[in-house]
Amino acid sequence: MKETLEKIRQEALAKIDECMDMDRLNEIRVAYLGKKGELTQVLKNMKNVAPEDRPKVGQMVNETRAALEEKLEETKAKMAAKLREEQMKAEKIDVTLPARRNKVGHRHPNTIALEEVERIFIGMGYEVVEGPEVELDYYNFEALNIPANHPAKDEQDTFYISKDIVLRTQTSPVQVRTMEKQKPPIRMIAPGRVFRADEVDATHSPSFHQIEGLVIDKNITFSDLKGTLAEFAKELFGPETKVKFRPHHFPFTEPSAEMDVTCFKCGGKGCRMCKGEGWIEILGCGMVHPKVLRMSGIDPEEYSGFAFGVGLERIALLKYEIDDMRLLYENDIRFLNQF
């Protein structure tokens, strides 16, 4: 009997030691201590034990039961602790970990350039105005003294919505709309999107942006134009910047000019940036044509003014030394993040 009990005890303890989970532990409990368990079986066989030995055997059975129960409890507690520890580990939050930043996007180089130009002109007392992108042929061409047979009116260059309606090819129509609405003095810039039927390449896009400028008052002369645009160039490209005006032709200004700035990269010596020229063309400008003034309801005998038009992309490309206009429209975050 003693050996049987010892065997049961060893066996059970070994099984408990090997046991890996709660369910199995319960099975072991039932197998030994349950109603039909091995130890219970021994108790049931007491009747076969000699009466004088019964107290002794009874005590041994109780001891074995106690040992097994203790071991079971101990193992159960260990398992529970281990389980809890694993759970804690899995749910651990490292509060020292730097937080992930929310990506909130980025200003586009065009926007940065536009805000810079706006800042400069607002500083000189200009108003920022807007005009429609879908424009009447009248404002886009006719009121700007661009005759019906002008090559700019060709379908090759202009997107027509109908015979009389176009996608504006320039921001210059905003000049006319402003003069019609507002009495001089006028000092405004008009940034916006323009459209031309061009193939996409490194320097062309069917849709791009311009910033128009218009000043109308009494006694405005070409020297006002020069002084203003020279100041603009210095603010935009640095105080060393010099400007040069080359005669040009635009139907809505007389005289007309194109303005070059000294290359801000080489200071005018000639480099890759300015293609060895030392100068970079930056905008078109001129004194508002008397015919344009008259068509817009302003008396050219009383008032005069100047106008200019700048390509926004051109400024952005130059300022940030981007060599392909397409990069501005691809919205590749790796590119945009650099500005």
Binding site residues, ligand DAH, CB under 6 A: 170, 172, 212, 250, 253, 284-286, 307-309
Residue closer to ligand DAH (CB basis): 170 or 241: 170
Strand partners, 187: 215
**Nearest distance from residue 143's CB to ligand DAH, in Å?**
13
Pick between residue 28 and residue 310 the one whose CB is nearest to ligand DAH. 310
Q: Which two tokens stand for residue 219?
A: 């006694």
Nearest distance in Å: CB 309, ligand DAH: 2
State how far the Cα of 331 lies from the Cα of 107, in Å rounded to an integer: 11
Judged by beta carbon, residue 28 or residue 261, the one nearer ligand DAH is 261
Map 114-161 to HEC letters: HHHHHHHHHHCCCEECCCCCEEEHHHHCHHHCCCCCCHHHCCCCCCEC
Max distance between CA atoms of the chain, in angstroms, equals 142
In the bound state with ligand DAH, the residue whose beta carbon lies nearer, of 12 and 307, is 307
Closest chain position to ligand DAH (CB): 309
Do residues 110 and 312 lie in contact, with contact meaning Cβ atoms separated by under 8 Å? yes
C-beta of 214: minimal distance to ligand DAH in Å?
A: 7
Q: Taking the complex as a whole, how short is the minimal distance between the CB of residue 271 and ligand DAH, in angstroms?
A: 26
The alpha-helical segments, DSSP class H, found in the chain are: 2-18, 22-33, 38-44, 54-90, 109-123, 137-140, 173-181, 222-237, 290-295, 312-319, 327-330, 333-336
Q: Which amino acid is at 205?
A: S
Which of 54, 294 has the CB closer to ligand DAH? 294
**What would the two tokens of residue 312 be?**
């926004």
**Residue closer to ligand DAH (CB basis): 60 or 146:** 146
> C-beta of 116: minimal distance to ligand DAH in Å?
19
* In the complex, minimum distance from the CB of residue 270 to ligand DAH, in angstroms, rounded to a whole number: 26
Query: Is residue 179 within 8 Å of 171, Cβ to Cβ?
Result: no
Label residue 286 left, alpha or beta by phi (over 0 means left) and psi (-120 to 50 means alpha).
left
Q: Measured from the CB atom, is 57 or 194 closer to ligand DAH?
A: 194
Q: How far is the CB of 146 from ligand DAH (least distance, A)?
A: 10
Helix (H, G, I), strand (E, B) or coil at 54: helix
